[in-house]
Structure 1
Amino acid sequence: MWPMGKIMGGTGMLNNMIYVRGYPEDFNHWFKDKEGYEFFKDILPYFKRLEEWDYKGKTTASTYVSNLTFTTKLADSILNAAKELGYPLLDETENCIKGFGLPKINVKNGQRWTPAHTLLEQKMTNIILRTNRVVQKILLHDNFEAYGVKYAYKGQEYVAKATKGVILSAGVIGTTKILLHSGIGPKKHLNDINIETKIDLPVGENLQDHLTTGFDLILFNQSLGIGIEYIMSPFSPLEYLYSGTGPWTTAGCEALAYFSTKDNQEAVPDLQFMVMNVGVNEDRGLYLRHMLGVSDEIWDKYFAKLKSNVTATILPILLHPKSRGNVRLESNRPNSAVLIDPKYLSHEYDIDILIKGIEIVRKLVETREMKNMGASFNTNIFPGCSQFDFGSKEYWRCYVQHLTITSYHPVGTCKMGHEEDETSVVNYDFEVKGTNNLFVVDGSVMPTLTSGNINGAIFLLAEIASDIFKYKDFLSRGRCIILEIFIESYVCKNYY
């Protein structure tokens, strides 16, 4: 099940609020000149602009980035267990290097905070917001210049005209769907569903996602201080309302870690670990198992056996999968469903990395620190894998193939790249190739996944795009570039 953020603020209104910058090498593919790319010059200033505050306390940034407002004793125990194994701890001033540390979150006074909150708080008069509309297609002139969109509202179709351009930010699924219905996509697929092909581009290809496994592998013989009894305590809402702290402000994640399984310690991390203070069994099967798609059979044969234990989860997350999927349309009807085939675990590399992640989880659980906390590793055999010896690579391979799910970070279906790159959909100015004034700014343009939760990377995309659009607008007004006033026979041109 993939949730879609059909709300002002997008899926950032639904996520677990973890803010991660990513690893410097993650952004190489975002630039035409990869050799000239420098993280500290080209990327870091944008992140600081996102996060920066002025001295009066009034933000000039797009979002709040803060420390956790609530943790259980699990957080300290995991950090101590990591030290016991010789793993480094993250410096609090850093955001994504290798080792264990506490996450940063997009929270203000104990409440979720997104750029949408900032935008609405500013009450900008040059923005008109229309909600409950569903965009069906982009309107294009014969020269493929975007001049508006067709949208549906209360059963009727309407047109919104654009004077300078159209920017799609409907997400990896929504943007793909709109472009395909507009005749921009793979010619064969569009022909198959009787949509006229206007521009043949690989829209919907290159789908990739962070995958995770290892639910309820940690059992405790004592409470962690975050069970239903704590959530329902009359003191919890008081803490939340008066100080923005307490169990109601938990982000769910209490610690993060980044690892490279390669011998080269300078290599980009290929595993992230997310330490969660609850397991799937926490609510005794009322909600979480349905959200994760756990069948009744698997629940009864595996998870239900754990009801006498307190469970927690350390999720090993595959950061850079080699599997690639796609998104297609079911039909040419505007309200038809999309067909999502992520092709999870279709590359053996992805399975191997997740198995290595489970092995690291087991090492953590078996430390002296975790045993003193009453932790043990779940040795119940997963249904369908009983033919293999528990703990063997064959067993974990079977386990991973049965119990791996999305981390809800799909990207890449409108890949950014060079004009001559046949696998790309948009250029480095976020403009759809072959069109004029049609842009895409969301996770679908990311060529590859970043090393960690992608919300921060998508904020970054928006910051970069805003600078590009402001500069294009500057040129479109026929204003002079300062250096050109020294050119002989100078003419102030309309550059856009």
Structure 2
Amino acid sequence: MSRSFGTFDYVIVGGGTAGCVLANRLSRDPDVSVLLLEAGGKDDWIWIHIPVGYLYCIGNPRTDWCYRTQAEAGLNGRSILYARGKVLGGSSSINAMIYMRGQAQDYDGWSRITGDSRWSWDRCLPFFKRGEDHWRGGDEFHGHGGELRVEQQRLRWDILDRFADAAEQAGIPRTDDFNRGNNAGVGRFEVNQRRGIRWNARKAFLQPVRHRPNLKIVTGAVIDRVSFDGLRATGVEFLLDGERQLATARIETVLAAGSIGSPAILERSGIGDPRHLQSLGVAVRHALTGVGNNLQDHLQLRMIFKTHGIRTLNQSAHSLWHRAIMALQFALLRTGPLTMAPSQLGAFAKSDERVLTPDLQYHVQPLSLDKFGDPLHRFAAFTASVCNLRPTSRGDTHIVAADPLSSPGISPRYLSTDEDRDVAARALRLTRRIASMPALAPYRPEEFLPGPRFGTDAELAAAAGDIGTTIFHPVGTCRMGRSDDESAVVDPRLRLRGIKALRVVDASVMPTITSGNTNAPTVMIAEQGSVMLIEDRRR
């Protein structure tokens, strides 16, 4: 038997990026009560806020759910870490902080898929600008004065400037803004920071409104399932301090638990593929076979090049003197390597001239390591990670037990199509071409990973399986579609198909992955979702 936790107008499940936006927007009306439930803890650990602290947050059970994929055939049988934020702010508390919207064609594609022009680029752009506080100020493409701060990074590396020169020599033009709808080019990423400090969704959207009397924020609340009256959602059951609680929603229940969390909650609630649910002993409430399917992610291929005669973070990290200087730079000026996003330099390029818009994204770093959590290499090196922006491989995530404390199964099925393997081979060849340009020649780059022995397309595709890892952009597992699309989980207004008073508002609703990092699009989705919720309440 569940203990009553109270009744609220809206119950929001998940205090990550989308949940923080929703809580802010819905609680603006003082006559509306809002409950925000987060399974993780508070974002009160120092390494969440020092940007380079991502090295300590990812793979740490204090801040990361530390999921792992199933063994992936496309990764040559490897299982890899699948980080998801386990803290207020969600993955915005541990991610790369990169502000990236993607390409206009991404959203125009959503509009065609859903049959709803609200999801076109022109109609999404105002929602990107709505909460933005861009360092340049407001203009046609950027907002000013909003909650989400977007700044330039506060350090430079000569090796990254030389890589940018080499990319330009290889035919990739310079750009000073990746966020105008066409992100082609090479340039420095802009980041969600304020004066050298990570600016996560909790700081942006919850901190300013935390004292609103109509907003209640609860951490450590592990969601079990949605509660129902027939086919109408009435709230959620959750575990808090070892006790089962029931929070009741008068108007709507909103799932914002992300592309792994939201489908898991739906399945535990009896919504999904009946065959899978019955195999786990979960009573079927409503058949929606699309729940947990359509998983898309960006697979980054981490090429590492040793260098000579130019400084990288590898040397500094192993020097006590340089580490002391870095600490002082941050403490006194909020500059230097401790303000580093995981990637400072980006590039968007075409894997083939027949591609209409860039289908490759580079994250370039002045460092190298075997994997997150491992020490940096002791030799000077840079990492050029390249990912296929529009993979055709599709995976899934499903619960493996009805227990809310059990981790779901995650199968991205990377490189499971011929097209993705071909793009991977072309991406590695382009990276080698950039590294061979005159701008980098004085530093004699030597390919460390995957290594020059891989030459043919087949060998390069196999090498991609050895060096590939997630860049932490899972989307699509509760995808939206037309109201008559049986494989869609939510309609264009993000309402669960066949269920009343239940929506999903997070990255899981994306029908196709965006052409870049996915945090900014998630903010936009939540902005749109909040308007839909308010509109429907007032009807």
TM-score for both structures, normalised by structure 2: 0.78
Where 1:359 maps in the other structure, the secondary structure is: helix
Instruction: Tell me which of 151, 157, 177 is aligned to 1:66.
Output: 151
1:376 deviates by: 3.0
Contact kept, 8 Å, 2:302 with 2:449, in 1: the verdict is: no
Instruction: Tell me which of 233, 251, 261 is aligned to 1:164.
Output: 251
Where 2:146 maps in the other structure, the secondary structure is: coil
Letter paired with 2:268: H
Query: Superposition RMSD on alpha carbons, in Å?
Result: 2.5
Instruction: Point out the structure with the larger strand share.
Output: 2
- Pair 1:330–1:380, CA change in 2 (3 A): closer
Contact kept, 8 Å, 1:212 with 1:316, in 2: the verdict is: yes
1:239 deviates by: 1.9
1:393 deviates by: 1.9
Distance (Å, rounded) in 1 between the aligned partners of 2:516 and 2:491: 24
Distance (Å, rounded) in 2 between the aligned partners of 1:87 and 1:116: 36
- Equivalent residue, structure 1, for 2:382: 312
Where 2:348 maps in the other structure, the secondary structure is: strand
Where 2:430 maps in the other structure, the secondary structure is: helix
- Pair 1:231–1:471, CA change in 2 (3 A): farther
Instruction: Tell me which of 503, 506, 509 is aligned to 1:442.
Output: 506
- Pair 1:464–1:221, CA change in 2 (3 A): same
Deviations 1:78-105 (A, max 9, x none): 1211222232111337555212111111
1:390 deviates by: 3.4
Where 1:253 maps in the other structure, the secondary structure is: coil
| 2:214 matches 1:214 | no
| 2:127 matches 1:46 | yes
Where 1:104 maps in the other structure, the secondary structure is: coil
Distance (Å, rounded) in 2 between the aligned partners of 1:257 and 1:319: 12
Letter paired with 2:153: L
- Pair 1:38–1:131, CA change in 2 (3 A): closer
1:271 deviates by: 0.9
- Equivalent residue, structure 1, for 2:326: 236
- Equivalent residue, structure 2, for 1:459: 523
Letter paired with 2:245: Y
- Where in structure 2 are the equivalents of 1:20-419 lying within 5 Å? 20-31=100-111, 39=120, 41-52=122-133, 60-92=145-177, 94-95=179-180, 96-124=182-210, 125=212, 126-142=214-230, 144-201=231-288, 202-216=290-304, 218-226=305-313, 227-228=316-317, 229=319, 233-264=323-354, 267-280=356-369, 287-288=373-374, 309-378=379-448, 381=451, 390-419=454-483
Distance (Å, rounded) in 1 between the aligned partners of 2:423 and 2:321: 35
Larger mean CA deviation between 21-30 and 179-188 belongs to 21-30
Where 2:224 maps in the other structure, the secondary structure is: strand
Deviations 1:202-233 (A, max 9, x none): 211111110011332x1102342423038953
- Equivalent residue, structure 1, for 2:49: none
Contact kept, 8 Å, 2:111 with 2:119, in 1: the verdict is: no
Contact kept, 8 Å, 1:139 with 1:146, in 2: the verdict is: yes
Distance (Å, rounded) in 2 between the aligned partners of 1:474 and 1:41: 25
Larger mean CA deviation between 64-73 and 466-475 belongs to 466-475
Contact kept, 8 Å, 1:379 with 1:390, in 2: the verdict is: no
1:423 deviates by: 1.3
Where 2:127 maps in the other structure, the secondary structure is: helix
Deviations 1:247-272 (A, max 9, x none): 1101131211112234346x232111
Distance (Å, rounded) in 1 between the aligned partners of 2:496 and 2:192: 31
Distance (Å, rounded) in 2 between the aligned partners of 1:65 and 1:2: 26
Q: How many residues align?
A: 445
Contact kept, 8 Å, 1:74 with 1:254, in 2: the verdict is: no
Letter paired with 2:160: A
Letter paired with 2:437: T
Identity %: 28
Larger mean CA deviation between 13-22 and 240-249 belongs to 240-249
- Equivalent residue, structure 2, for 1:300: none
Where 2:215 maps in the other structure, the secondary structure is: coil
TM-score for both structures, normalised by structure 1: 0.84
Instruction: Tell me which of 4, 7, 10 is aligned to 2:90.
Output: 10
1:332 deviates by: 2.3
- Equivalent residue, structure 2, for 1:478: none
1:333 deviates by: 2.7
Distance (Å, rounded) in 1 between the aligned partners of 2:178 and 2:390: 25
Where 2:150 maps in the other structure, the secondary structure is: coil
Letter paired with 1:332: A
Gaps of 5+ in 2: 1-80
Give the greater-gyration-radius structure (CA).
Answer: 1
1:335 deviates by: 2.5
Deviations 1:168-190 (A, max 9, x none): 11111111111000001011111
Larger mean CA deviation between 465-474 and 236-245 belongs to 236-245
Deviations 1:358-407 (A, max 9, x none): 1111111111110123423338758xxxxxx5322232122112221111
Deviations 1:401-446 (A, max 9, x none): 2221111111111011111111110111111111111011111111
Distance (Å, rounded) in 2 between the aligned partners of 1:21 and 1:148: 32
Where 1:138 maps in the other structure, the secondary structure is: strand
1:119 deviates by: 2.6
1:286 deviates by: 9.3
Letter paired with 1:83: E
